[in-house]
Structure formats: C-alpha cells, structure tokens
Amino acid sequence: MEENEELHVLMFPWLAHGHITPFFELAKKLVEREITVTICSTASNLTSIKDQLRETHSSIKTAEISLPQVAGLSPHHQTTKDLPPHLMPHLKRAFHLSQNQFKDLLRSLKPNFLLHDFIQPWAPEAALELKIPSSVFLTFSVSCSSFLYHLVLGKKPNEFPFETMELHPHESQRIQPMLEQQTFGMRDLERYKSCVEQSTDFLTCRSMHDIEGKFINYLSALAGKRVIPVGPLVSSRTPATTDEFFRQWLDARPEKSVVFTSFGSEYFMSEDEIKEIALGLELSNLPFIWVIRVSPNEVIKEINEVLPLGFIERVKERGLVVGWAPQGEILRHVAIGGFLTHCGWGSCMESLGLESPLITLPLQLDQPFNSRVMTREVRVGVEVERESDGGFKGEKVAKALKMVVLEREGELVRERARRLAEKIKEDGDKGVDELVKEIRRLSLIKGDENLA
C-alpha cells in the first residue's frame, strides 16, 4: 500500500458486551485518525452499540455473522447477555463453527489489519493465509493475561513472580474449571496461547503502564513480543439529557456520600449473596443506589422478592434498589463517595477515569486479579474481607463501605484515584498513536511483499 493510503482495520471481538465495548471505544479513536474500521459480530452483540453508531459514529462500519445452530442452544442466543451459565460451552461451539463465515468476510473485505479477541485462533490463522497482519486485543487485565500465559507455558501458579496477585484458596478453586474449559478438544488456554503466538509482532491490551507496567513487561517477556497498552478506553460520551430521576435523587445527597453498587451485566448473585449485600448496605447507614440483576432462569416478578423481608421499607429514605441504572452517568456525579463492584475490568477502567474509589468484591474469572491491581498496586480501593470458605458477611461489607466513604483511609484512596485520573488524562492516547504507527508499518511491509 502507499504511505498515505487509508487503512482498513477489521475488529472481531468475542460475543460479550464487556468485550465489544472496548473494541468499539478503540474503533472510535482509530476513525478519528482517519482509519476505516469494521466491527464484525452477531446482530445481537452489535445491538449494544448501534444507537451510538447511528447518532455519532456512523463512519464505523459493521459486518454481521450469524451463529450456526448447535444442539442445546436456542437460535436467539447469539451473545453472552442473559445467557444461562450452563449454555456457555454451546455458545463457544457455535462461535467456533462460524469460522467459515468469517473467512468469507475476510476475503471480501480485504482489510489491512485484523484486531481479534483471545478465544478464536482460527481468525488470525485465516488472516495469515491471506497475508493480513493481526494482533490479539486483550480486553481483560494484563495481570490476569500474564498469569494465564504463565500457566499455559507450563509454569506453576506459585511461581508467578508477583506477591500482590496471590490467590486465596477459594479463588484458586473457582478459577480451575475456567482453565480446563475446552471447545472441540482445545482448551481455552490453548486458544489464547495460539492467538498470542499468531499475533504479528505485537499484542494489544486495554491498560497502561501506570496501572499495570510490571505485568505488561512480564507478558512481553513471556510472549517474546511487544505489548502495546492503548489505555483504559472509557467512553467519553455524555448523554444529551441526564436521567432526571437519578440526577434529582443524587442532587439531594451530600457530596461524596453515596455508594453506587453494581455487579455487572453477566453475573447473577445467589440469594445468600444478595442478602449479605443488603445487610452490608443497611448496616453502613450510607445512602446508596443498588443495581440488582436477576437470573433469566428465575421466575421472579419483582426485585424485592429476592431481598430480605422489610429491607426496602427500612432503607427507603436513603436507598434506591433498581434493575438498571446509567453507571457512567452516576459515577460522574459529585455525590458518589464509593463504588461497590465485582471488579470487572471495564468497571475498574471506568472508575479510574472518573476518580471513583472502589470497594471491591471479586466474584469470578479475572476479577480477583483486577481487585488486587486496584487495591494493592495502584491502591484506589479497599477489598471486602472474606470468610475462609470464600463467602462474605454483611458486617464486612459495611466495614469496607464506611472505610472508603467515611474514614481517613477513604480520603487517601480518593486522592490516589484523583492523581491516577489526572495521569490518564495527561497520557491521552499515546498508546493508540503507537498502535496506529505499528498497523501502518505492518501494512506497508505487506504491501511491499505483495508488489514483490
């Protein structure tokens, strides 16, 4: 290709909202740099971004694939949203079987570069056949990414060289099944390894050196490739009209006094977990907004059916319990004093950009690693103490909430969060610029080879 020719990047995320969102945020930054971007996914998964595409980012293109039918999976399950956990292996099988559609799309679009997720090694393999350079884009924390790559290379968990990342016994037990998951005889860990190995020259990650520098360096050493951190990738979009109900409710509360409580879009808490969270919020005596998601498998008419008897009545003057809330909008409000979170990486990145101190309660997957980064590395949060069996009690939840919102430790946490948010703004999009530079370099090399 010519040096001033417009680049075309094809993005191919896994079928989860927590994955398509950072791909989309990165796409926004690439089109600002005059790069054509196409995001490939199922119609169900693209739904979450289509309003923004239509309103403000119409230059970002989409390409749809449809998952083939597999036994045990309803045709409408084309995303992880509201997917019962026992159907996840079926969704992965269907995704794997969509590879011929993807290969046809790749031949048709002929992009200059492919940016793909960690679970589909057949995507970079197809790109390689067409001499299209590619990179895996790691949308979860590099602390977790480097730990998984450490394991896939045959190293022992206790040899991971970062004491701050030590897993509790109950966390090790929970993560083990994830390490053994496989699709068509290939473990997810092996798929991840293959995606890393097939990346052309470098890996891309959603992080920055000021947050995970030593983990970025370790992953680079293990993989033998550069790792380009492109930043937190938090949406800068501010709704044209603030949600009036939440705004008025927050406006009536003192500055830095409210706890926002949410555990993500894909984890459904057990009845016992819900009761302990309710107890913690009640014992804290702090004002709060609590977003509860009920499993689609549960036959429940109202949210209060899963709450302790009388809870809503007892906290009605200071608490809101809702099924949905505009998280980013709420975290931006001056009344927010803390964010009680499961520590999904997206929520962590969003909170950092908005100076929101964290009260962390990691529940599954990469969340224990994310929590340790937030509470032990950059120290912008406090983790809820657990019981020896991994359970948690409302009293410990209340203790952590009050520590962050009311006590001296909370002031220190907020100050560190403020400084880190300033650093994020100061760094801007240096990582994105580096990524663009590398994509252009590889595209020029490919063009020269084709001419040869």
Provide the pLDDT for residue 449. Answer: 58
Residues 96-120, mean pLDDT to the nearest whole number: 96
Classify residue 40 as exposed, middle or buried by CB count within 10 Å of its CB (0-12, 13-18, 19+).
Answer: buried
Q: Cα dist. 420→143, 232, 329, 373, 401 in Å?
A: 18, 12, 20, 13, 21
Rounded Cα distance, 276 and 238, in Å? 34
> Is residue 145 within 8 Å of 214, Cβ to Cβ?
no
Asked about 117 being catalytic, the answer comes back as yes
pLDDT score at 400? 97
**Can you list the domains of the chain with their CATH numbers?**
8-231+429-451 (3.40.50.2000), 244-425 (3.40.50.2000)
Q: What pLDDT, on a 0 to 100 scale, did the predictor assign at position 299?
A: 47
Number of residues that this document lists for the chain:
452
Average pLDDT on 380-397 reads 93
For 251, counting Cβ atoms within 10 Å of its Cβ (0-12 exposed, 13-18 middle, 19+ buried), the class is exposed
- In tens, the pLDDT along 270-279 reads 888 999 999 9
- 5-42: pLDDT as tens digits: 789 999 999 999 889 999 999 999 999 999 999 999 99
Average pLDDT over residues 41-56: 84
pLDDT in tens, 350-376: 998 888 899 999 988 889 999 999 999
Q: Which helix (H) or strand (E) holds 182?
A: strand 182-183
Average pLDDT, the chain: 89
pLDDT at 196: 98
- Alpha carbon distance 123, 111 (integer Å): 13
3-state secondary structure 215-284: HHHHHHHHHCCEEEECCCCCCCCCCCCCCHHHHHHHHCCCCCCEEEEECCCCCCCCHHHHHHHHHHHHHH
State the average pLDDT over residues 187-215: 96
Residue type at 386?
Answer: R
Q: Is the pLDDT of residue 232 over 90?
A: yes
* DSSP notation for 321-379: EES---HHHHHTSTTEEEEEE---HHHHHHHHHTT--EEE---STTHHHHHHIIIIIS-
For position 303, what pLDDT does the model report? 72
Long-range contact list for 123-127, CB < 8 A, 24+ apart? 123/12, 123/99, 123/195, 124/195, 124/198, 124/199, 125/198, 126/99, 126/102
List residues bridging with 336 in a β-sheet: 258
Contact 349, 340 (CB under 8 A): no
Question: What is the reported pLDDT for 240?
Answer: 45
Based on the residue annotation, tell me whether 210 is a catalytic residue of this protein.
no
pLDDT at 9: 98
Would you state the structure tokens that stand for residue 50, as one six-digit string? 């289509």
Looking at 75-84, 111-120, 176-185, 194-203, which range is the least confident one?
176-185
Q: CA 220, CA 209: separation in Å to the nearest integer? A: 13
> Which one is catalytic: 17, 19, 90, 150?
19
What digits encode the pLDDT tens for the residues 273-306? 999 999 999 999 999 999 987 665 554 446 777 8
Q: Which of 65, 18, 57 is CA-nearest to residue 37?
A: 57
Please, are residues 160 and 147 in contact by the beta-carbon 8 Å criterion? yes
Check: CB of residue 65 under 8 Å from CB of residue 32. no
Residue type at position 330? I
Residue 130, pLDDT above cutoff 90: yes
358 touches 365 (CB < 8 A): no
Please report the pLDDT score of residue 239 as a whole number.
Answer: 52
What is the share, in percent, of the chain residues with pLDDT greater than 90? 65
Please enumerate, as own/partner, the contacts of 399-402 that have beta carbons within 8 Å and a separation of 24 or more. 400/359, 401/259, 401/280, 401/281, 401/284, 401/286, 401/338, 401/340, 401/359, 402/284, 402/286
Q: Which of 117, 150, 342, 366 is catalytic?
A: 117
How confident is the model over 407-423, as a mean pLDDT? Answer: 91
Per-residue pLDDT averaged across 33-58, rounded?
A: 87
The contacts of residue 148 (CB under 8 Å, 6+ apart) are: 179, 189, 192
- Residue of 375, 359, 356 lying closest to 414 (CA atoms): 356
Is the pTM for the entire model greater than 0.95?
no
Query: Stretch 255-272: mean pLDDT, rounded?
Result: 86
Order of strands across the sheet that contains 358-360: 319-322, 288-291, 258-262, 336-341, 358-360, 381-383
Pairing between strand 186-187 and 182-183? antiparallel
Is the pLDDT at 75 greater than 90? The verdict is no
Confidence grade of residue 256 (pLDDT, cut at 50, 70, 90): very high
